[in-house]
Structure 1
């Protein structure tokens, strides 16, 4: 495959050149025949060509003028031009878009490369070259790590950008902050990827690195703009350590200075970073190569592009290296990379994920995603762990096994499997369910008139009344989740009110569903009335497993935030038991009896066998906060289909967050519920208990103003926590990522 990149390759800037070279090399490592499309418009060239300026001077006169007044500019131009010619494979020579459009290079794929190629301030407004409008119709177009340079798109260019992006097969950016603006204009999902310089290993840069070792130790100061704070700090550090400074400007800026690297090539710049004792920089790429070469460094922030550095260092858990104010810098330990192995692992993952995305986008790599060990063939990240495939198997060929994160996934015994296809028919990622009778639900806000019922429940006390009606009026059974003796959340069946009350309260962990579907089916086939209460995906799984509707089954969905790892909860409970020297006998994640129902006040209450009781603000608790931030949930929660109006229950209940603003007459900070009725059975069930409640009519828009309308977002922190949970004490690990720990 022949692939060409359009980027700021002609900018005589170490970062711009090295990201171009790195992307070219990474593409070759992936198997492509890569080149850089030699588009160098005057708006870019004029910034770096020393022969530009001084109107009225021809090139000869300009040469002699520079030879006398600024010879280093000529040396830099000559050496840099030679580096580009030697190390970049350039296709064509295009000074204007018209030249490029008239005779574009014939390639299989075209890439809008990294750097600020979509920054209207840099490209003179809108330049169709950087949106690949010159590429022949039908060719593959992608962007890799493009940058807008700001977190918005100027309205004047929105329609042009939107039309151009229609032809892109994949769109990726370099900064998180720009993603929302581009997502509104792109028809394909927008991915945030690593800067191209991270696509290569340190050893790859040996091809161009120039390693001129100096006898004296030195501090490299790489300053991209005139910054007094950088100068003051560098002078202080130089005086304290006794090391001189190497810097990039052609004139002296520092008290103790060895030389300038103004005329250095990109390869020499890499050599300077790799051999420096310390690096002080306000450059994004100065920070990048300090990380790659694991050099002691600190980053001050560039006035225009500092957010890139902040995003990068936060992603790599290296934000301690940011100096926000030079006056507050006093600890030389701030330079040191404390855990090199962890940094290497994070960079390796960043590299792996970004290379995979680049390869997949061009069709050079197959998707690197694990599938479940089950004939369903779905991706592991899609699997809800709902047990439907396991329970439907007529040969007991499928078992549910926990993975390293503590979640259950199917595993097939191929010797037992008869390829009957039943698991595929009931898999809720694949199965077609019978449709709902009513597509637009009736929606209410409700609070139980019985205060004691509300206090013992998570929200407005709807579930206790549903359970009471089914058990007392229908002589039926209620299915829910309770804590067992080992404090595991397990699905069970109750036939008395006392048994059913163990199901009250949110458990905030993925529950075990072993054998529950066959037990429910047995009751239904015997003509018993059953109320099933569970997460939306579990409600869908039950109905899919049953494979037909039952008049004597009522399905009540519980609005779900996400399903955390049982393994992480167990580790956290073990930590508490060791700390309090006693076995835990009960956990209430949202106790409102003393402080109220609102999430910033509700308490997490843990009861111990020896009588001790732990009460803490739930929102600030390390486990609960990780749950709220979506750091410890099952992968499928990032791909959940059962959100907003995609419902499979007869009715849905949950917290009515924000009710104090919509229905203040129902708000007393002791809990309020939303109730959604999706069909006639749901209406029948609600009608049977509605006299127990104060009720107001509402809407889907009101209910989901504060509840999840979309799947839980993915955070890279999730991977870090699961990678480290067997190596670090769990409370310390969760605290590290608790944004409210202070």
Structure 2
């Protein structure tokens, strides 16, 4: 009898790479396979497939419309200053996760792995939460974590699952039912580059600074709240070399912010709006100096150099959890104000020169993109350094005037 092999997607824009189809397949007939630029897409092994079509029905990106609407929106910071400094913005995820673990729960989130990629991992100890903190501007591999989460939930455990909106939606569809013990947190996502592209950049900077990379972060709070990274290299002589990766001076951060190196579906992302799959949405409160100057001034004003988060409760469960955590300082805002500096709360990123950029990458690797960047950027590469020298009060005043 001839098998009816499912078609998982017609176009690359139809697949977000969440891996729900891989996790749901009863025969393990689906694997995630990288294309030329390293973006992962599911591929069916025809010999193993039995045509049950669970893989096509589980696809949230193609089949499920989100109906959540924001219940409450806040500007927020963690009361734990040390926690906030280690986080990308206001330390809210760390506070949520710590509270969850202290109450006996288990947390899933994105972590750098031993191969200098990013993958989802389980954390059940507060001292290991640092693995999940900080921004990772690259797509995380879900692996079998949907299966792990379901097994734990079925056994009565409490699970906090964090990720991009499409990953959270993929989990919910895979689970197929509502679990009281599940809390989901999605991030305000611009879009995701591939692990291959990211690692190409890491190899480039290793060659540039003539050392082995031993530490990397996209967001270094020692420079203040912004998108400036840091790398540490070990030279052949054993010396440590610390390098600041300024937003305007790093080719990877430049292309990321421009939105030219994301996977295809990111430019048609249906989660880039008010209808979010997570119980809670977290991100940076960019533009708070315009939307809430009152939160930055006076004796109880926040120091934005430590980062300030936008927190959106999309469900009653999310709102209840936020109101129960003592470690958060939350101040009222609106979804519209939060969206002012987070355009992905209104619409997906724009493709711009993506096709041209990725074609250059396919032909010449990261060296080609670096050469292009160096030719085009000029003195603008120093903008981040100059900006870091401007006193905070002056910077706030300038932002408020624009």
Tell me the secondary structure at the aligned position of residue 60 of structure 2: coil
Q: Which of 691, 700, 719 is equivalent to 2:335? A: 700
Report whether the alignment pairs 1:455 with 2:92: no
Report whether the alignment pairs 1:606 with 2:238: no
Tell me the secondary structure at the aligned position of residue 447 of structure 1: strand
Report whether the alignment pairs 1:722 with 2:395: no
Q: Is the 8 A contact 1:483 1:489 kept in 2?
A: yes
Q: Which of 574, 587, 599 is equivalent to 2:203? A: 574
Q: Is the 8 A contact 2:38 2:197 kept in 1?
A: yes
Q: Which residue of 2 aligns with 1:645?
A: 274
- Residue 434 (structure 1) shift: 7.9
Q: Which residue of 2 aligns with 1:442?
A: 72
User: Aligned partners of 1:534, 1:737: CA distance in 2, in Å?
Assistant: 30
Q: Is the 8 A contact 2:66 2:276 kept in 1?
A: no
- Residue 554 (structure 1) shift: 0.4
- Residue 737 (structure 1) shift: 4.0
Q: Which of 492, 503, 513 is equivalent to 2:142? A: 513
- Residue 401 (structure 1) shift: 0.5
Q: Is the 8 A contact 1:480 1:500 kept in 2?
A: no
Report whether the alignment pairs 1:713 with 2:350: yes
More displaced, 493-502 or 607-616?
Answer: 607-616
Tell me the secondary structure at the aligned position of residue 430 of structure 1: helix
Tell me the secondary structure at the aligned position of residue 619 of structure 1: coil
Q: Which residue of 2 aligns with 1:426?
A: 58
TM-score, normalised via structure 1 length: 0.47
User: Aligned partners of 2:229, 2:205: CA distance in 1, in Å?
Assistant: 13
Q: Give RMSD over aligned pairs.
A: 1.9
- Residue 374 (structure 1) shift: 5.3
Report whether the alignment pairs 1:497 with 2:133: no
Q: Which of 400, 403, 406 is equivalent to 2:32? A: 400
- Residue 706 (structure 1) shift: 1.2
- Residue 470 (structure 1) shift: 0.8
Pairing 1:326-405 to 2, within 5 Å after superposition: 375-405=7-37
Report whether the alignment pairs 1:686 with 2:314: no
Gaps of 5+ in 2: 297-301, 380-402
- Residue 395 (structure 1) shift: 1.6
More displaced, 426-435 or 701-710?
Answer: 426-435
Gaps of 5+ in 1: 1-372
Structure 1 pair 451/619, CA: closer, same or farther in 2 (3 Å)? farther
Q: Is the 8 A contact 1:476 1:495 kept in 2?
A: yes
Tell me the secondary structure at the aligned position of residue 491 of structure 1: strand
Q: Which of 171, 174, 177 is equivalent to 1:548? A: 177
- Residue 414 (structure 1) shift: 1.9
Tell me the secondary structure at the aligned position of residue 550 of structure 1: coil
- Residue 694 (structure 1) shift: 2.9
Q: Is the 8 A contact 1:487 1:585 kept in 2?
A: no
Structure 1 pair 714/433, CA: closer, same or farther in 2 (3 Å)? closer
- Residue 741 (structure 1) shift: 4.0
User: Aligned partners of 2:268, 2:177: CA distance in 1, in Å?
Assistant: 26
Structure number with the bigger relative contact order (C-alpha 8 A, sep ≥ 6) is: 2
User: Aligned partners of 1:487, 1:374: CA distance in 2, in Å?
Assistant: 34
Tell me the secondary structure at the aligned position of residue 232 of structure 2: strand
Q: Which residue of 2 aligns with 1:82?
A: none
- Residue 592 (structure 1) shift: 2.0
User: Aligned partners of 2:280, 2:120: CA distance in 1, in Å?
Assistant: 19
